[in-house]
Structure 1
Amino acid sequence: MPTNLNRQEIRMESFCVDQEIETSRFWHDLQQGLSFCNLPETEDRTQNPRPNPTVEEITMVVLGEPLTCLNLCLEGGKQCPGGMLLVPSLTWLQKEPTNERDLQTLRVRKAVTFDSCGRTFLDIFTPPRRVNYFMNLVTGNEKADARSPSNNFLNFERDLECPVGVTEEMVKRLDDRILTRILVADAGVAYPDTLAFPFRPKISYNLGDHDISVVPVRNKEDGKENIRSQLGVFLKRLLKKGIEKVVVKVPGSASPGVSYHSAHDQAGVYSAMCQGLDVLEEGESIIVEAFCETLKLLPVPHLDYEEQAVGMKTQALSCTIRAVVCCTPNGNQLVSDIVCGVGHADKPLDGGNTLPLSLEGFLSQWGFQERSEIEKIRSMIKAKAEVILENWMRYESKLKKEEIGGSLMRTNVLGVNFVLTHQEDGSYDAVAVSISNSRKTIANSQIHEFQNLSKLGSSVRPLVATMVNCSQRFLLQGKHILLIGAGEEFVWEAVREYNVKITLVDGDPNNKADKCVHKFIQCVIGDRNNEDINAEKIVQLVRTHDLAIDGCMTVVDDYVPLTSLVCKALRMIGSTPEAARKSKKKSLSQKSLEQSRVNVPFLPNPSLFAVKTHGISQPEDVTGSSNHIQYPALLKPEFGACSYGVNLVKDEAECMKYLVNTKNSEKMTNDPPFGKNHGSAMHLTEYAQGTKHGVEIVVYRGKLLAAFVSDCGPTRIPQFFETSTCMPSCLNPERQRHLITAALQCISGVGHTDGVFNVEFKMTPTGPKLIEINGRMCAWFYRNWVRTVYETDILFLNFLIVCGIQPNIQPFEPTCQFMAILCSPAAHSKALSRPGIATPEILAEAHERGEIIYYEMEPLKEENTDNECGFCAISVKEKSVSEAKKQLLAVCRKYGVDTQEHPAEYVLSTFVQSPSY
């Protein structure tokens, strides 16, 4: 592969442009943008081509001119260094046929890459790098000559196999004022009364019950007559509503564009519309709509004084508000920026004739002083813009592949233009007057940011996160993962969502999961005394079935040691058997930390987080334990989860009594009460006083990628069953950082380097103290909580890691607050069995109504106070800690789960928002 493209090669491309002119202008624009940001010039690395890595990297290609998308590329470099590639010409790309239908693989030969510090590099890739996300930001001109080179950019993305962010078909639909006006109305957002005349429309419009009239025009002479007959009726209707002004909108640069008219001047409106009709092309439309007047300025003393002193009346002003709304990685909608433009009321306003201004700046200029009122207006605009994108996504999902321009196309960003109006009742409303397509939105978002460099990239931050997520999904799709142990239902939902193949190995021949996976292999693997034999059986089954496995994992705690042995035998990424053994046995975890040789000068030693333990293999070991362990202490199983078998013992006598009772119970039932087949060995550990917390931590090659902290309410002593939990944590940021550091040091101390792990701590007055390390990701509802609060799916990250793909994670700021009450048979069996009040069926119905989030852990059993176990979680989602607590208390009282044994006020008492320091 040559390191430089030559002129002959370029001429051979059927879609070529003049390379010298194109590249020259490209470099000029790029250097101009970089110098404005005070960033270094582009470094040419084409003489040393970059080899492709053994594992595919994120490769997001933006086709466009740098000055129209520089903020997008710089933000891409921050979030994914080296993964955002800018190309100015199709000659830097190449297509290859795939084995899948008529799709083609896109590869990049040459590009400008961006790093996390804003530095840029001109790279050549040998061999060409496979593209896993493509965004064509070159604006095509449909009216240009078909032979024009610019037209070669159009529909280039139509047959690509990778996800695509913009297609020409969807740009046309977003530019269709009638279609977007109808979708705005369908979303329940205010819009101007509209009369539209499309010329030979290419799509049909479902008008519904809206104040939108559409009169198709087949030929222009008849169209003028249609305008004459319909216009009078429309204007009379507006006048009856008290609307005195109208707006005529015509597309295309060769037309009058936008003009304002009096609703009484029917002749003037008719003339403007006929002039517009003359230049319409097929599929375009001319629109007349009600004028939306910007709310009047509130009294501003210094302006009033100036008017009187100078003797000049301030000219009427208007304002347009543009909300940039992005699709998030989870498919939600998020407004990332709101920018305003102020101008004279008698002229159309746009980004070209107004200075960008923040919403707060505009409202302050208009006389608003109350912060709460400004925030209320922001929230209202934000909600309207997000519901518009949500409705657009819903519409887009119903279109055929040919209609959207690709099999994996999704509109991930658009702009919504509003006018803020004053209502008769004194309230304010935002009226959506137009939609900007993705290309225009990205280009326009830069104008405000380049004047406020601290905000550079903020408007496209969610968009880049979504591009990265789509890229990683593309890299993951089709990967074959060996899953040991069935786990929970959410795993099977994720299999379908992420399009991965799962071969499940489980001992239950009637497992329901066998219908959800690519392949189910029934194999008895429950005997924990023969893990080596079980691992050998699984490896042999993989080879017998000739399975090409990309990764191996488990979500079941009991199968962590077995999975580590299989990973080692198959040479897969995962925990080593030694690390799995250390984290599985609780006393061994603590001793490993005490003896850890992990010594990073800028991090605390892992031994700082350990607590003293004392092993008990027989009752005689209890005698003299007070010489090693300070009482009161905890008598805990070496294996197991969810605090099963944990008990507070005040002295050696009480410890002996509890231990003997446990051993006797085990002999009588022939069934271990906890630990399952790992055994019911016990140990003593010193009691750490403080609040309990959980950390979900993601590491790859020993590097911390992300961590998420949750809080637990006061546990039920003496067995320490969890009573409540919340996320995000109520701890101040400094304390949360302590927990995250402790989690990283603890998993490093036992030897874990790759995966998603759950680590539990007590936050004592002197810092975090380890409770236990779970060598797999959390189960229950925590995965869904992390996904909702931070827009990050830890199961998806686990899939990536075991397949050798380094996750790129940029967790969002918390978007909401979850809080839950955890119910147990011991405390709630009576409350949850009262007909008509709080049966599991009633709680499930409340979940369906959206009143609560109900999660059933296991069927409700008879009251059992010997070893508590969880039955269900009743959760709420609100905007803040105080709102969540208030709502959850109300739910507990309504359904009778606020019991004497489990008082809701008490179990939620530790959830108080701490100051941010």
Structure 2
Amino acid sequence: MSALLWESPTYSRNCQLSALTDSVAFRWYINVVDTCYLFISTSSTSKPASTGFQALSNTRMQQTADTKKDHEATVQGSYYNVAEHLSRDGGDGSHLQQEDDKSALQLYHSLQQILLELGLPETRDRTTPRALTTSELVICVLSSPDKYLPVLLEGGRLCSGHMLLCLSSTWLSKIPSPEHPGLFSFRVHKAITFEEGGHTYLDSFQPPCRVSYFLSSLDSYSTQAQDKEGPCLDSKLEADLDCPACGSPQLSRITENMLLTRQLLSQKGVGIPQTLAFSFHPLPTSRPPHPSITVVSVQLKEQLQELMPGAINTFLQHPELQSCHEVIVQPSGGGWYSCDNETTLVKSDREGVLSATLALLPRIQEGESILISASYESVQPQKPLKLEQSVTYQAPGVLRKLALHIRATVCRAADDQPQLSQVVCWVDKAEAPASARPTVLQTLEVTLQEWGFTQDDLTAIQQIIKQWAEAAMQAVMDNQSQLSDQDKGGAGAQTDLIGVEFALIQQDGKLRPLLLRLTAHHRGVYSTAFSLLMLPRLAHTVEPLLQTMCQRAHSFFIAGKTILVIGGGESKKMSVWHTAKKQNIRVILVNPESDHPANHLVWKFLHYNFTDHSQDEAHARNIARIICESNLNINGCLTFVCNFSVLTSLVCQELRLPSNGVEVINIAKKKSHTQQHLGRVAHSLQHFPDVSLYTVPSLQVISPAELQEVIEKVDFPAVMKLEYGEGGLGVKIVENLQQCEEFYDGIQHEELITRGISPEVMLMEYVGGEKHVVDLIIFSGKLLAAFVSDYGPSGSSYFLNLSHIMPSKLCPEKVNQLVTAAYQSCIYCGLKNGVFNVDLKMTETGPKLLEINPRTGGIYLPAWIKAVYGFDLILVSFLIACDIRPHAWTPEPRGHIAGLSTPLTQYLQALENPSFTATLKHLEINGIIHSSMIRDDSSKPDFEVVSLNISSFSPSKEEVFKRLLIVSKILGLDSNEYPFKYFLDPLM
């Protein structure tokens, strides 16, 4: 046994550490000795330990007995009794398989070694079992600790306490799903929990917690070739799960089928090596021909053997192969991983190529292929690497041939868009086999710069790699959408992560990438070593995948929930109903108009006229009565229309559903009330600015007779607007009493305006500065995420918002000021749960609050946030309405989106052009712009309003502005009165 101990790599490393005088290292070494003894003494298959080692261990354990008792009474150190804890099963006997406890213990020790080397705290053993509800996020990773450590660490920061690592499948149980007959739920009995600051805990769960997203990579994806020789492919573990899963054995086989992926990619303009494929008994699916791929397809292997010599001779004489000297022979399909089974041969050795191809023929099965691919010489450094020279010694030059390997990692973003998250490369000797382990990983940028290539070369290659890698993921997603649940390996299985490997060659003086293969997620495509060496890039690297994990878990939580929505709104709200249908939410829509277009998209439609808001309390009782009489079990209630927010809070009160409360909504909804309430808030805490600093002097105007008294308390210029207005309607700058009186008289008779809660008017002191909008998510009083956007100059004295951009161009300091002001304003008004929309101005004295909209931002903002951040604001609104905590943060923006809103008079004038509608549609189909109607009203009020909004998204802000200016002229929306360049320039 002592021999076994001395052979342990962990023990050897710790012997070296024990020589150090550092007390922490020494205690760590002693703990490992204790652990080794505990493991040896509890293993039923081990031989008796030697007397010397046993005596040493017993002495050490006796010396620390009292210390250990005290330690275990609170939070245990990671090594005490860990062998006993790790070997305990879930307690119900329903495990999928019984693995050797030794494997889990070794993985646990590996994790401690990793944490030590990263300078992170050791794992602690929590004595008290944790309990998580079925609606709490549980991201379960079944893997060795090193493979997904970047995801686990960053997930611990963003989803602290909800990122679980299982080191053995025996830590899980699989039971019939309570909601989905025929499917199964995973339950976690114990796991390593990752939390903020790199803290980890060995936890047990009582009751076992339900998995809401599953990622597996614990040697369960054996290749088919390995299946025949030993390890068995275990596809039952992830079969028929009710929760979302990142891939499956079936999907991994499809992703790594080289012939299939090359056929899919060739149709998307991706550069691939010239390929000859011998396909045995292929599946009936036909693929369009492509000049880079030649497929010889037969039903019998004997036929393939007869056709091989002639086909190989023809292929080796192909013009595209004239510039290459070697070819690669490899199997494709099923579970073959080509890197481990490929043979590189000189192109002129035709007999050798034929022999290697024939050697694979007996091993392939139905639906599989043998590929012969052109292999080109890798690009070489443009200048020799600089070596230090000595006066007395001349170092020999090194002119060894090198091979540059590139791997991109692409994930399916939360909005189902492919997103490149990492590009790494490594340099090896040209003769090194493809299956060799990568050398030290590095960035492509640094490598090509060292090799003497220009910035233009680098930029061009980076753009192509991004384009092709994301095209590869799109091809995988498109193909996967056509598969049945059985073919995918389960209803929740979906490819969320792939690796894309490239070669970089040089032809005719130009760099040319070639896409070689795709690799499935379980092969550690996130390059853990590189990610942890480049910690500043960690968030950017793994954040898209984490966002996808949370988004899919959110969808899992909300599916099947019944939610009452008060008011359908106008056509600009249609995305709400599409989102609900996509997420399988049973929406009950209560609307005053019976012909609303959403009545065919929702689960149930209730026609009830609640337009008279003076009777909101009676309306709320009536709506609640209808719901109760229908025996409908409602999980949540909300509205997406500002003027219905008070009624919605009353309905929630009647049905006893989660809500911020009627009084709180009244404070936030009535604009002068909001300002006065926040102005009276006083607190002694200095962690944030005093909330009263954000307020603007405001007073309600109850009657014309009060105007004189009110204006004496508010300086001119001032702003008059409706107390309960929405969408910027009825807001005007005034400079004297006469203008106030004219506005007051006019607003009382304007039907478009007075259809809100009431026609009450307020007077607010005008504040200068730029306008900004903050959309923020708050749950249980905690700010989860915020999205800041900028407005351009106002279009008239009615404050028309004609230009808008996201994300904000402000510096981080100013953005933080705006977010803090919006958050504090909501919290001190009592808004502690929901998605809110806050208008502010950034002035010389800091942020000033204009108004709070106690509902999800309207018009185009949810769509913009989805485009820029990949974040679904509407889904989060539904979650919070059901009192489910969303796991949200503000991700890195993927680009810029800007929009122009057209004044109604200008829009009506542009419509006179017969080609306007067709041109607008053509621009949208080609992805140049997106359009939405802000106002559906055909009647024109006595003052100017905005109608059509056109927007454009691009990674380049300059490209966005260029498109908008050109399109506005093409459509005839630009004018001398409203020159769009004037409104866009300040946003640059």
What is the TM-score when the length of structure 1 is the normalising length? 0.92
User: Quick one: distance in 1 between partners of 2:93 and 2:687?
Assistant: 56
Task: Name the residue aligned to 1:852.
Answer: 929
Task: Name the residue aligned to 2:381.
Answer: 297
Q: Give the letter for the 2:184 counterpart.
A: Q
Alignment pair present for 1:48 and 2:124: no
Task: Name the residue aligned to 1:915.
Answer: none
Q: 1:657 aligns with which of 718, 727, 742?
A: 742
Change (3 A) 1:256 1:606: closer
Residues 719 and 868, structure 1, Cα contact 8 Å, conserved in 2: yes
Q: 1:479 aligns with which of 545, 561, 579?
A: 561
Q: Give the letter for the 1:391 counterpart.
A: A
Q: Give the letter for the 1:856 counterpart.
A: M
Residues 598 and 748, structure 1, Cα contact 8 Å, conserved in 2: no
Q: 2:506 aligns with which of 403, 419, 422?
A: 422
Q: 1:431 aligns with which of 503, 514, 536?
A: 514
Q: 2:769 aligns with which of 674, 678, 690?
A: 690
Alignment pair present for 1:834 and 2:912: yes
Task: Name the residue aligned to 1:529.
Answer: 614
* Bigger shift: residues 426-435 or 799-808: 426-435
Change (3 A) 1:255 1:643: closer
Residues 89 and 170, structure 2, Cα contact 8 Å, conserved in 1: no
1:847-906 alpha-carbon deviations (Å, 9 max, x no partner): 233332111233574665x32222111222233333322221222222222212211121
Change (3 A) 1:455 1:680: closer
User: Quick one: distance in 2 between partners of 1:114 and 1:432?
Assistant: 36
Change (3 A) 1:782 1:598: farther
Task: Name the residue aligned to 2:673.
Answer: 588
Change (3 A) 1:821 1:321: same
User: Quick one: distance in 2 between partners of 1:327 and 1:609?
Assistant: 40
What is the TM-score when the length of structure 2 is the normalising length? 0.86
User: Quick one: distance in 2 between partners of 1:261 and 1:553?
Assistant: 66
Q: Give the letter for the 1:888 counterpart.
A: L
Change (3 A) 1:881 1:457: closer
Task: Name the residue aligned to 2:552.
Answer: 470
Q: Give the letter for the 2:827 counterpart.
A: S
1:254, CA displacement in angstroms? 12
Counterparts of residues 769-848 of structure 1 (less than 5 Å): 769-830=848-909, 832-836=910-914, 838=916, 840=917, 842-848=919-925
Identity, in percent, stands at: 31
Task: Name the residue aligned to 2:5.
Answer: none
User: Quick one: distance in 2 between partners of 1:873 and 1:255?
Assistant: 51
Alignment pair present for 1:700 and 2:779: yes
Q: Give the letter for the 1:428 counterpart.
A: L
* Bigger shift: residues 881-890 or 743-752: 881-890
Change (3 A) 1:226 1:674: same
- How many equivalent residue pairs? 895
* Bigger shift: residues 556-565 or 255-264: 255-264
1:611, CA displacement in angstroms? 0.8
Alignment pair present for 1:178 and 2:259: yes
1:605, CA displacement in angstroms? 1.5
User: Quick one: distance in 2 between partners of 1:211 and 1:909?
Assistant: 47
Residues 642 and 869, structure 1, Cα contact 8 Å, conserved in 2: no
Residues 747 and 754, structure 2, Cα contact 8 Å, conserved in 1: no
Counterparts of residues 383-782 of structure 1 (less than 5 Å): 383-424=467-508, 426-442=509-525, 445-456=527-538, 459-487=541-569, 488-597=573-682, 600-663=685-748, 666=749, 672-782=751-861
1:390, CA displacement in angstroms? 0.5
Change (3 A) 1:599 1:350: farther
1:748, CA displacement in angstroms? 1.7
Alignment pair present for 1:878 and 2:954: yes
* Bigger shift: residues 383-392 or 463-472: 463-472
1:14, CA displacement in angstroms? 6.9
1:247, CA displacement in angstroms? 1.9
Q: 1:127 aligns with which of 204, 207, 232?
A: 207
Alignment pair present for 1:268 and 2:348: no
Change (3 A) 1:398 1:634: same
1:134-163 alpha-carbon deviations (Å, 9 max, x no partner): 122123335589899964743311111111
Counterparts of residues 163-242 of structure 1 (less than 5 Å): 163-199=244-280, 201=282, 206=287, 208-216=289-297, 223-238=304-319, 241-242=322-323
Residues 293 and 419, structure 1, Cα contact 8 Å, conserved in 2: no
Gaps of 5+ in 1: 913-917
Change (3 A) 1:741 1:224: same
* Bigger shift: residues 360-369 or 182-191: 360-369
1:551, CA displacement in angstroms? 0.7
1:364, CA displacement in angstroms? 1.9
Q: Give the letter for the 2:731 counterpart.
A: V
* Bigger shift: residues 382-391 or 614-623: 614-623
Q: Give the letter for the 1:109 counterpart.
A: H
1:305, CA displacement in angstroms? 9.7
Alignment pair present for 1:102 and 2:182: yes
Change (3 A) 1:644 1:464: closer
* Bigger shift: residues 851-860 or 334-343: 851-860
User: Quick one: distance in 2 between partners of 1:581 and 1:589?
Assistant: 9
* 2:106 partner SS: helix
Change (3 A) 1:344 1:897: same
Residues 108 and 167, structure 2, Cα contact 8 Å, conserved in 1: no
Gaps of 5+ in 2: 1-83
Task: Name the residue aligned to 1:37.
Answer: 118
More contact order relative to length (CA 8 Å, sep ≥ 6): 1
Residues 37 and 453, structure 1, Cα contact 8 Å, conserved in 2: no
User: Quick one: distance in 2 between partners of 1:633 and 1:7?
Assistant: 71
1:241, CA displacement in angstroms? 3.7
Q: Give the letter for the 2:141 counterpart.
A: V
Residues 223 and 337, structure 2, Cα contact 8 Å, conserved in 1: no
1:311, CA displacement in angstroms? 6.2
* 2:978 partner SS: coil
Change (3 A) 1:583 1:240: closer
User: Quick one: distance in 1 between partners of 2:843 and 2:464?
Assistant: 42
User: Quick one: distance in 1 between partners of 2:89 and 2:475?
Assistant: 48
1:6-56 alpha-carbon deviations (Å, 9 max, x no partner): 7798895574334422322222222222222222222122x3111234x62
Residues 320 and 341, structure 1, Cα contact 8 Å, conserved in 2: yes
Residues 328 and 343, structure 2, Cα contact 8 Å, conserved in 1: yes
1:259-301 alpha-carbon deviations (Å, 9 max, x no partner): 3322222122223333344554555543211112222321348
User: Quick one: distance in 1 between partners of 2:285 and 2:931?
Assistant: 43
Residues 503 and 520, structure 1, Cα contact 8 Å, conserved in 2: yes
* 1:810 partner SS: coil
Residues 901 and 949, structure 2, Cα contact 8 Å, conserved in 1: yes
* 2:527 partner SS: helix
Change (3 A) 1:12 1:144: farther
User: Quick one: distance in 2 between partners of 1:677 and 1:313?
Assistant: 80
1:695-726 alpha-carbon deviations (Å, 9 max, x no partner): 11111111111111111111133211212211
Change (3 A) 1:278 1:450: farther
User: Quick one: distance in 2 between partners of 1:357 and 1:298?
Assistant: 18
Q: Give the letter for the 1:776 counterpart.
A: R
Change (3 A) 1:641 1:351: farther
User: Quick one: distance in 2 between partners of 1:406 and 1:754?
Assistant: 35
Q: 1:357 aligns with which of 419, 438, 442?
A: 442
Residues 16 and 149, structure 1, Cα contact 8 Å, conserved in 2: no
User: Quick one: distance in 1 between partners of 2:430 and 2:251?
Assistant: 32
1:376, CA displacement in angstroms? 2.8
1:313, CA displacement in angstroms? 5.8
* 1:678 partner SS: coil
User: Quick one: distance in 1 between partners of 2:228 and 2:954?
Assistant: 56
Residues 667 and 674, structure 2, Cα contact 8 Å, conserved in 1: yes
1:173-216 alpha-carbon deviations (Å, 9 max, x no partner): 22222112212212220011111234555675625224222335
Query: Root-mean-square deviation (CA), in Å?
Result: 2.8
